[in-house]
Amino acid sequence: MAALTSINGGRCEAGEVHVIIGPMFAGKTTDLLRRIESESSSGRNVAMIKSSKDTRYANDSVVTHDGLKFPCWSLPDLTSFHHKLGDDEYHKLDVIGIDEAQFFEDLYEFCCKAADHDGKTIIVAGLDGDYLRRSFGSVLDVIPLADTVTKLTARCELCGKRAFFTLRKTAETQTELIGGSDVYMPVCRQHYVSGQAVIESTRNVLESYKVSH
């Protein structure tokens, strides 16, 4: 506690890190908004940040797949947040929500500084895995920093069972591809494996067609 007290310039405040993960459509943004609204109703000063890479819906709001909204800072990185807000406003903040956390390369450094040194509560929502079920960005890196981790599930679009994974329906192969239900669907394990096989064989057919024409 002595170390925290001195780090915080005499204020005896400990920060917190809470992480919400899961596939697309699992309710990560809905849960993040609910927690931020509840903190705000308890009188705490809150701010929301989302990645400026996500150009779906509004630029100045975090929006759920059901259309719920909350005003936010849309930023290319998290390091610029303190500077953009200014010292006075930053120091007044108690809680910071981060949506689309997979797109922030500086997530780990930001959470360390904000929670350990500045006494903030950080609530992070993002994809743990990409469409190939590989670790996405730095989301899994912040789990060792976290007080709590919540893994949500969606409903498999093909059978209605619990969905743990996100299937990309198109042939594009880059990791980052912004989209909603036009490009992605949540699926259970069985339908991830069968769906991925169909998409890969379609991609191979398209590739061989390109080579021969």
Ligand X SMILES: Nc1ncnc2c1ncn2[C@@H]1O[C@H](COP(=O)(O)OP(=O)(O)O)[C@@H](O)[C@H]1O
Ligand Y SMILES: Cc1cn([C@H]2C[C@H](O)[C@@H](COP(=O)(O)O)O2)c(=O)[nH]c1=O
Q: How far is the CB of 192 from ligand X (least distance, A)?
A: 13
Distance CA 164, CA 26 (A): 8
Least separation in angstroms between CB 116 and ligand X:
27
Active-site choice (100, 109, 157, 200): 100
The answer to whether residue 186 forms part of the interface with ligand X (CB under 6 A) is yes
Q: Is 142 in the site for ligand X (CB under 6 A)?
A: no
Give phi and psi for 167, each to the nearest 5.
-95, 130
Q: Which residues of the chain form contacts with ligand Y (CB under 6 A)?
A: 24, 28-29, 54, 56, 100, 127, 130-131, 166, 175-179, 184
What is the distance, to the nearest Å, from the Cα of residue 83 to the centroid of all Cα atoms in its chain?
22
As to burial, measured by CB atoms within 10 angstroms (0-12 exposed, 13-18 middle, 19+ buried), residue 49 is: buried
Q: Which candidate, 121, 130, 134, 143, places its Cα nearest to that of 100?
A: 130
Name the segment binding ligand X (CB under 6 A); options: 3-11, 50-58, 63-71, 138-146.
Answer: 63-71
- Distance between CA atoms of 38 and 32, rounded to whole angstroms? 10
172 is known as an active-site residue: no
Catalog residues that contact ligand X under the rule CB under 6 A: 22, 24-30, 64-66, 154-155, 157, 186
Active site residues: 100
